[in-house]
Chains A and B, each alone.
Chain A
Amino acid sequence: MATRTTSYKDSSERIPFYRNVKTIGILAQIIFAVAVIAGAFIIYRNVATALTRSSLPADFSFLDSRAGIPIAETPIRYNPNDNYLKAFTIGVLNTLKVALVGVLLTSLLGVFIGVMRLSNNWILRQIATVYVETIRNTPLAVQIVFWFTAVLTPLPPRSLNPIELPGGALLSNLGLAIPWTYPSYSFSAWLPWLIVALLLFVLVFGFRRRQILLSERPGNPWLPAFIVALLVAGAGYFIAAGGSSLPTNIASEVRATSGVATVFIDANQNGRKDNDEAIVPFAAAEVSLSQGFLEAQTQELTESRQIIYSTFRFPPIKEKEFAQAQVSFVDPEASQGLSIYFENFPSEGVVYRDLNGNGSFDRGEETNTSGTRVSGYSAKLRLEVTDFKRRIVADRNGQIRIPRFSAEPAAEQESAGANISPAQLFAVPAPSEEALQLEVNIDLKESAPLVMSYPSIPIGPYFGGISLSTNYLALLLALIIYTASFIAEIVRAGIQAVPKGQTEAAKALGLSGYQIFSLIVFPQALRIILPPMISQYLNLTKNSSLAPLAAYAELFAISIIIANQTGASVPVTIMIILAYLIISLTFALVLNIVNARIALVER
């Protein structure tokens, strides 16, 4: 064999550039870069000419102008006079609001379903499988529309007739209102206790951990620390509650026209809220009314598909709270032949047609047997109220909304009450001159550092507790249920991926069932589960951009409105992409940190 030692470097032969591996690479890159730059330039030129021609905003200066977008749900204060930037910020916050709650709840549901798929109970396993296979093979958009248009919107209408859930929550087509605690004025007295409790938690935790380390036995440092902190915080709560008294000069002012009272610190003691006087949020008050009139109207109702005339519930007002009440049909023409049977006068009633003519309500008479839809049978309630008393907690703006009482009764409709059974007919007296001024007495109550605010059913919008709109609920429910079907699979796969030998070895060492799960299976499964779980969290967040389907104003929905109002296509595009890129990068960062922390050391 001839041994030639000619090497590439020694070769005097020149390689033509189109055959040289290195120059080919550089050339290819240059050509590619030129093409990309040329493409970008053409796009830039086209966009620029298009923008100048149509004189649409091309920079971000429009963000400072008045938005005029009405947004129903705002985590922070907002009014339509605020600028576009503020509107966009609200959108971002609303995205976070749905994403954070969604991530939390979907994890719970997903883990639950995932564990169910591993249950030794056949039925539970099948239910979990059907759940996963149905939900993840149906578009999320269909599910959002299902929850929004088919489930939540047809809920009993208006605030008059909500479904009362256990625990004092109210569900209606306006959404879900749940009881909520708020910090009252005496919260500041409790705050030092909270800080002390937190410090004690850290101290006790550190002490216990040291003790455990010294005793060299496994132990739980969290529990004693938690108990001590809880005790201190609890004791402080009662001491703060006992020692606190209403702030000096606290006063309230009622605006009879709007039915809104404001709680404030009356610095100059003139009994009026002046502009420089501070409001007091979340103050508890007993609202009492010696005399007032109230009018409410039910919506026309049809319950499920059996055509029922109407069942209605007016706000629960106790019998001793009103002097006179009258319920009548709004449109006597249309409701010819219909009567009202009161299950609980005047709050709950059923509209019926006296089919057998016995003058009283019998089961079945509430059903519309004619098959055609009737309308105009909605009923109107008129109340004259005496000694009305309610405990109401002011909102974050220090406002207490008093049910829409008026000082004088509304003008009576002709032939009203024609179809009411005579026993339940009350005549409304003519308005007296003195009654024109609504007399509301607001008695501010001392309260503990936290006040519980319950949703009540005054007439008008929800008040009290915290309200979640149907838009938010529809999006949240769909996202939770959809994402959980993926998380369930991740959890199942993660637990199944821990080899059987691990459990067997732990058993052979004599570890108990709980110890095997908490010390051996769970830590290993978690390593497998966490990374894909985090990308599901990202998916949930990105999927919240389907919000326009439920008319929920998150960042994408607001961006659409901004783009349509201002025509600022390019800036809005950049804003959308940047917002989601930041979200994605944040998740990627979290994922990297998690991955680095949980990586198993291998050879």
Chain B
Amino acid sequence: MAIARKPPVNTHGPIAWMRQNLFSSLANSIISLVTIILLLWAGVGLVRWIFFEAVWGQVWINLKLFAVYRYPADLLWRPLSIAALIMLLLGLTAGGSSPSGGEIIRGVFWWVLSLVIGLNLIALITWESVRWWWTLVSVASLVGFVLGRAQPRLLRTLPWLWGASLPIGLLLLIGVAPEGGLRSVDTREWGGFMLTLILSGVGIGVSFPLGIALALGRRSQLPAIKYFSIGFIEIVRGAPLITWLFIASLMVPLIFNISPDRIGALQRALVAITLFSAAYMAENVRGGLQAVAKGQSEAARALGLSGWQTMRLIVLPQALRAVIPAIVGQAIGLFKDTSLVFIVGLFDFFNIQNIVANQPGSLQVPGGIRLELSLFLALVYWFFAFRMSVASRQLEKQLGVGIR
């Protein structure tokens, strides 16, 4: 029996790797060298700009504005305790998920936690008023994770906890008392990254049931319901979100026949975002419903389940499982698209840059600080969107394997 030999050409080591991947032919070698030189040149330029030429001071002193806009400084503990609650739940989910299936959510958790801990360290050093509240967020995350590890049973209550966190959070932000620490805060004072998260969270959260209803309506055999759903979905998807935001700000006061001052820009934006998101959600869910084999509902009906039971117990769970990656994708899209609320005069994370850029301190910087602002915004949006899209791809892969 012949003994396996090593191949005559070395296929290991950095040199072989470079030969295969960079210098496999003359043309490739030239391309590689030119691009390496260009990349080095661009990299050096970028590093020099970031560390020596850029003026980051204006971004640094405006971080509170970027985070919460005009939310009262003495009430910052409220958004921070909501952050703690959400991180607690995220930690619970990550810790409690099964060793194999939870890899994806754990990846997201560590990613976000690294940011939280980083901010916590900064808070401990310089942000005196909120340093312990930031510590609470970090601690809550870790507690959630450990608790989830120890008591995976808690996982079953998680959907309810997540669902409850939305109204609880909003209530805490709005405030309940006329005065004191729990005094109410006008939504006009809301903004910054907090607003971006509220818009995307409420948008996805509320549009989820609406989208399912619309998807079922579109597949209904009753023409009235079917055509209403189709009409709604197609008209809403026909025009871009920014136009719906504008239309909502024009039309909502008219539709309810109230004076425009009595309904805030936030509420109007939420109406537009939710309905818009619901139309897209409906199409995603419909894709999932179509993916469920017809035999499934036939088997369920044959077992004597009612139509509603079949839908709720057999078809929907399978359909929704199949569309999780698409819904995550939609959430990423919505997270990015909340930047369009500038059109109704809201100051979300994106729109804060226009305030900062026009501050006297920024105008004094020669050439302005638009470049710094753009980079900062892009980095923050990217930090979340990129990690989510990685998770979405992992989910797709995992579900794909699971189905086959």
Question: A residues near B, CB below 8 A?
Answer: 25, 28-30, 32-33, 36, 43, 45-47, 49-51, 120-124, 127, 133-134, 136-143, 145-146, 149-151, 153-154, 302, 304-307, 373, 542-543, 545-546, 548-549, 556, 559-560, 563, 569-570, 572-573, 576-577, 580-581, 584-585
A29 pairs with B28, CB closer than 8 A: no
Cβ contact within 8 Å between A572 and B239: no
Known: A47-B255, A134-B382, A542-B240. A141 touches B339 (CB 8 A): yes
Give CA–CA (A51, B253) in the complex, Å.
11
A545 to B340, CA, bound (A): 10
Return the 4 tightest CB-CB contacts between A and B, nearest first. A122-B21, A46-B257, A580-B239, A146-B374
Specify which chain B residues have a CB less than 8 angstroms from the CB of A49 in the assembled complex: 257
Contact check, A51 vs B239: say whether CB atoms are below 8 A apart.
no
Task: Please tell me which one of the listed residues B238, B366, B371 contacts residue A302 in the complex, with CB atoms under 8 A apart.
Answer: B366
A546 touches B239 (CB 8 A): no
Q: Tell me the complex Cα distance, A122–B368, Å.
A: 38
Give the contacts of B315-372 with A (CB-CB under 8 A): 332, 336-337, 339-340, 342-343, 350, 353, 357, 364, 366-368, 370-371
Whether the pair B28, A121 counts as a contact (CB closer than 8 A) is yes
Q: How far apart are the CA atoms of A136 and B339 in the complex, in Å?
A: 14
Q: Which residue of B lies closest to A28 (CB)?
A: B222
Q: Report B1-50 residues with CB < 8 Å from chain A CB.
A: 21-22, 24, 28, 31-32, 35-36, 39, 49
B139 at the interface (CB under 8 A from A): no
B371: contacting residue among A36, A150, A577, CB under 8 A: A150
Task: Please give, as numbers and ranges, the residues of chain A lying within 8 Å of B247 by CB-CB distance.
Answer: 573, 576-577
Answer whether residue B100 sits at the interface, using C-beta atoms and an 8 A cutoff: no
How far is A226 from B389 in the complex, measured between Cα atoms in Å?
A: 47
B160 interfacial contact with A, CB 8 Å: no
Please tell me which one of the listed residues B242, B250, B374, B381 contacts residue A556 in the complex, with CB atoms under 8 A apart. B242
Return the contact of A545 from the options B55, B243, B250 (Cβ within 8 A): B243
Question: A335 vs B242: C-alpha distance in the bound complex, in angstroms?
Answer: 48
User: From residue A578, how far is it (CB to closest CB) to chain B in Å?
Assistant: 9
Q: Is the CB of A142 within 8 A of B339?
A: yes
A137 near B382: Cβ-Cβ < 8 Å: yes
Q: Across the interface, do A140 and B336 meet the contact criterion of CB distance under 8 Å? A: yes
In the assembly, what is the distance between CA of A45 and CA of B400, in Å? 51
Contact code string B244-258 (vs A, CB < 8 Å = 1, else 0): 001100110111110
User: Is B228 positioned at the interface, with any CB of A under 8 Å from its CB?
Assistant: yes
Contact indicator A32/B364 (Cβ below 8 Å): no
Asked if A572 and B28 sit within 8 Å, CB to CB, the answer is: no
Using Cβ atoms and an 8 Å threshold, which residues of chain A touch B223? 29
Task: Give, as a whole number of angstroms, the nearest-CB distance from A513 to chain B.
Answer: 14
Interface check B150, CB cutoff 8 A: no
Q: A305 contacts which chain B residues (CB < 8 A)?
A: 49, 53-55, 366-367
In the assembled complex, the Cα of A570 lies from the Cα of B250 at a distance in Å of 8
Asked if B157 is an interface residue, CB under 8 A from chain A, the answer is no
In the complex, which residue of chain A has the Cβ closest to the Cβ of B386?
Answer: A137
Which among B36, B238, B386 has the greatest number of chain A C-beta atoms within 10 A? B238
Q: Please, how many angstroms separate the alpha-carbon atoms of A25 and B220 in the complex?
A: 10
Partner of A150 from B254, B339, B340, B370 at Cβ < 8 Å: B370
Flag if B385 contacts A123 (CB, 8 Å).
no
CB pair B342 A141 closer than 8 Å? yes
Contacting residue for A154 out of B39, B49, B251, B367, CB 8 A:
B367
Q: A542-B240, A560-B246, A580-B240 are in contact. List 14 more A-B contacts (CB 8 A).
A: A45-B257, A50-B257, A122-B22, A137-B386, A138-B381, A139-B381, A142-B378, A154-B368, A307-B366, A545-B242, A549-B342, A556-B243, A556-B246, A573-B251
- Interface status of B224 (Cβ within 8 A of chain A): yes
Report the minimum CB–CB distance from B25 to chain A (whole Å).
9
In the complex, are the beta carbons of B240 and A373 less than 8 A apart? no
15 residue pairs A–B, Cβ–Cβ below 8 Å: A25-B221, A32-B225, A46-B256, A47-B255, A122-B32, A137-B386, A142-B339, A145-B353, A149-B357, A150-B374, A542-B239, A545-B240, A556-B243, A563-B246, A569-B250
Helix, strand, loop or mixed for chain A's interface? helix
Contact among B22, B364, B370 for A373, CB-based, below 8 A? B364
For A139, give its contact among B35, B257, B339 (CB under 8 Å): B339
Q: A28-B225, A121-B21, A124-B31 are in contact. Are A139 and B240 (CB under 8 A)?
A: no
Expressed in whole angstroms, the Cα–Cα distance for A304 and B224 within the complex equals 63
Most interface-central of B35, B223, B242 (chain A CB within 10 A) = B242
Query: Which chain A residues lie closer than 8 Å to B332 at the CB level?
Result: 137
Residues in A whose Cβ lies below 8 Å from that of B364 = 373
**Least Cβ distance of A350 to chain B in Å?**
17
Q: Establish whether residues A51 and B24, one from each chain, have CB atoms under 8 Å apart when the complex forms.
A: no
Q: Which residues of B contact A138 (CB under 8 A)?
A: 336, 378, 381-382, 385
Say whether B251 contacts A120, CB under 8 Å.
no
Q: Complex formed: what's the CA distance from A545 to B244 in Å?
A: 11
- Check B35 against A123 for contact (C-beta < 8 Å): yes
Contact: A146 with B242, CB < 8 Å?
no
CA distance A581 to B247 in the complex (A): 15
Would A584 and B28 count as touching, CB distance under 8 A?
no
Checking B235, B240, B340, B389 against A137 with a beta-carbon cut-off of 8 angstroms, the contacting residue is: B389
B219 within 8 A of A: no
Least Cβ–Cβ distance between A25 and chain B, in angstroms: 5
Q: Which residue of A lies closest to B248 (CB)?
A: A573
A50 and B377 form a contact (CB under 8 A): no
Q: Determine whether B131 belongs to the interface, using a CB cutoff of 8 Å to chain A.
A: no
Q: Complex: how many Å from CA A518 to CA B11?
A: 33
Report the minimal beta-carbon distance from A594 to chain B, rounded to whole angstroms: 19
B64 interfacial contact with A, CB 8 Å: no
Q: How far is the CA of A569 from the CA of B315 in the complex (A)?
A: 43
Cα-based distance from A49 to B258 in the complex (angstroms) = 10
- Report whether B24 and A569 are in contact in the complex, using a CB–CB cutoff of 8 Å: no
A150 to B385, CA, bound (A): 23
Whether A29 touches B253, Cβ cut-off 8 Å, given contacts A138-B382, A150-B371, is no
Are the C-beta atoms of A133 and B386 separated by less than 8 Å?
A: yes
Using an 8 Å CB-CB cutoff, how does the interface string of B142-174 with A read, 1 for contact, 0 for none? 000000000000000000000000000000000
Whether the Cβ atoms of B367 and A47 lie closer than 8 Å is no
